[in-house]
Structure 1
Amino acid sequence: MQIIGQKPEAAAAVPDGLIKDSSERTFVADVVEASRDVPVLVDFWAPWCGPCKQLTPVLEKVVREAKGAVKLVKINIDENKRIAAQMRIQSIPAVYAFKNGQPVDGFMGALKESEVRDFIKRLGGDAGPSPVDELLALAAEAVTANDLATAAQAYAQILQEDPQNPMALGGLAKCYLASGDIERAKQALAMVPPEFANHEAITAVQR
């Protein structure tokens, strides 16, 4: 589906130093001391660990989106066996959360992104809004400013990640209607799954 307008501006830069690899030599500074300022997640992993390859990108994504509310330190257990032994790591991936210089929580296994966000929130950190939430907010502001091109592009970006998102489908259809493009509005509404047919974002367009 062709989208009107230009692509929204890139998100603001993320602070440096939020994600780093550590070792036995720097563990105290990177984790224990750093956790006195903000919570630090310690990701124990190994190159041969399949689930680690699934979890680590999720951790990195959520930490970046938190924009300084939490840090991530990665420990390769093959290269840092002493730390793994001290932390009694028996299986990986294993994640420990440090606050005020002490381990306070943790989990094992590859959690979903939503579960990682919940884990960070329990620590008192802010996992930050998801990219979808940020794009929805951007689109809403653009609609208020009558900038339909930016709003439509934001909704389209959401649909690239979540093709069935009712807020994005309804918003995109509304943009097309406002610009007089009834056919594209119908195309957007035709993509709505049956379970979202009565969603307020969809019914608002059909009134």
Structure 2
Amino acid sequence: MSNSGNPYGGSYGGQMTANAQFGAAPASASAAPAAGDLIKETTTQAFAKDVLEESKRQPVLVDFWAPWCGPCRQLTPIIEKAVNDAKGKVKLVKMNIDDHPTIAGQLGIQSIPAVVAFIDGRPADGFMGALPDSQVRQFIDKLGGPAGGADQAAEIQAVLEEAKGLYDEGDFDGAAQLYAAVMQADPENAKAVAGIADCMLGLNQHERVREIIDGLPEDMAKSPEIQALAKKLEQIEEARKLGDPVALEQQLSLNPDDHAARLNLAKIRNVEGKRQDAAEHLLLIMKKDRTFEDDGARRQLLEFFEVWGPTDPATIQARRKLSSILFS
């Protein structure tokens, strides 16, 4: 994305150079594990040992794939080489969802390839789709630490985190300026592009965000950050058509089992940023009637997770409650 298409494209971030060197080899390293120790296949039965227990020692990436999936075949050599080059900072566990569908279903994975990073026995981050080599290495560096020390990748990550903090505080202009600074150094950084567009959503520039999404190159449009942004825009556009939340609250006060009203209210609370409230409405529907709209409350909650991200506190809290309902 060029600066001409970026309304926040001022001369920010001059301290960052334009030649990023992602995934550089460390200057020195201790003896690395053999490649065969870093990558393995797993089963439903072995998942707890191979992933949950092992992730208490270092991050474990779980690659959910299937033999018929073309993008899975594209990702395989990229992620395997990146994991081997990381020399033990992460491990890779591959799970064929045709043979072992249960875990993917429990995690709400709806498309493959999907990679979920486990740390200390819990999902911590992830991405979907066949990302290019540089983005896969950037993802691994974020989990296991930059291979080259305090290089530009670490600096960019720090700016992205600062921008996210400003966004969470409601400072959309300040956050957008930092995202623009990242784009000065890395114009193809999907997180920065999605971050600027998210700030526009915060400023009610919905049509402009739709134009940005529609104008992105195909590879970037498929990135998990842009996919989540597109889903968020869809949710906002849908919520606009669902009526007055005060009226829905009144309906529920008269009939707490009006699941349709509760589902609509959950969608509205989500776009208002009241994520925990939105999740609680959906979880209540699940407790009372899993058959409503063919388990529609659970499916809607999984769509929220896609937008919120796996590490958002609302996702973590709601996923725990969801598990207690599903497995009680």
**TM range, normalised to the smaller chain?**
0.5 to 0.7
Q: Indicate the RMSD between aligned Cα atoms, in angstroms.
A: 1.9
- 1:44 alignment partner AA: F
- Cα distance per residue 1:108-166 (max 9 Å; x no partner): 0000111001101111345579xxxxxxxxxxxxxxxxxxxxxxxxxxxxxxxxxxxxx
User: Equivalent residues in 2 for 1:17-36 (5 A)?
Assistant: 17-36=37-56
Q: For the Cα contact (< 8 Å) 2:32–2:88, is it kept in 1?
A: no
Question: Quick check: 2:44–2:102 contact (8 Å CA) kept in 1?
Answer: yes
Give the aligned partner of residue 202 of structure 1: none
Q: Give, in whole Å, the separation in 2 of the partners of 1:74 and 1:120.
A: 16
Q: What is the aligned partner in structure 2 of residue 38 from structure 1? A: 58
Q: Provide the residue aligned with 2:78 in structure 1.
A: 58
Structure 1 residue identity aligned to 2:47? F
- Deviations for 1:20-62, whole angstroms, at most 9, x for unmatched residues? 0001010001001000000000000000000000001111000
The ranges of structure 1 where at least 4 consecutive aligned residues each deviate by more than 2 angstroms after the TM superposition are 124-129
What does residue range 105-184 of structure 1 map to in structure 2 within 5 Å? Answer: 105-126=125-146
Contact in 2 for aligned 1:37/1:100 (Cα 8 Å): yes
SS of 2:73's partner is helix
Shift of 1:65: 0.7
> Is the aligned partner of 1:81 residue 2:104?
no
1: distance between equivalents of 2:61 and 2:148? 16
- Cα distance in structure 2, aligned partners of 1:104 and 1:13: 24
Which runs of 5 or more structure 2 residues have no equivalent in the other structure? 1-30, 150-328
Count of matched residue positions in the alignment of Structure 1 and Structure 2: 118
Q: Does 1:96 align with 2:130?
A: no
Contact kept? 2:90, 2:144, Cα under 8 Å: no
Match of 2:69, as an amino acid? C
With over 3 angstroms needed to count, the CA separation of the structure-2 counterparts of 1:88 and 1:66, relative to structure 1, is: same
Identity of aligned residues (%): 62
TM-score (norm 1): 0.54
Please give the alpha-carbon distance, in whole angstroms, between the structure 1 residues aligned to 2:32 and 2:58: 19
- The 1:49–1:98 alpha-carbon spacing in structure 2 relative to 1, beyond 3 Å, is same
CA separation of 1:37 and 1:61: change in aligned 2, threshold 3 A: same
- The higher-RCO structure (CA 8 Å, 6+ apart) is 1
Unaligned runs of 5+ in 1: 1-11, 130-207
Is the contact between residue 50 and residue 93 of structure 2 (CA under 8 Å) also seen in structure 1? yes
Choose between structure 1 and 2: higher strand proportion. Answer: 1
Is the helix fraction higher in 1 or 2?
A: 2
Separation (CA, whole Å) in 2 of partners of 1:100 and 1:92: 24
The answer as to whether partners of 2:52 and 2:121 remain within 8 angstroms in 1 is yes
Distance 2:124 2:40 in 1: 20
User: Which amino acid letter does the alignment assign opposite residue 97 of structure 1?
Assistant: A
Distance between the aligned counterparts of 1:93 and 1:123, measured in 2? 19
2:92 is matched with 72
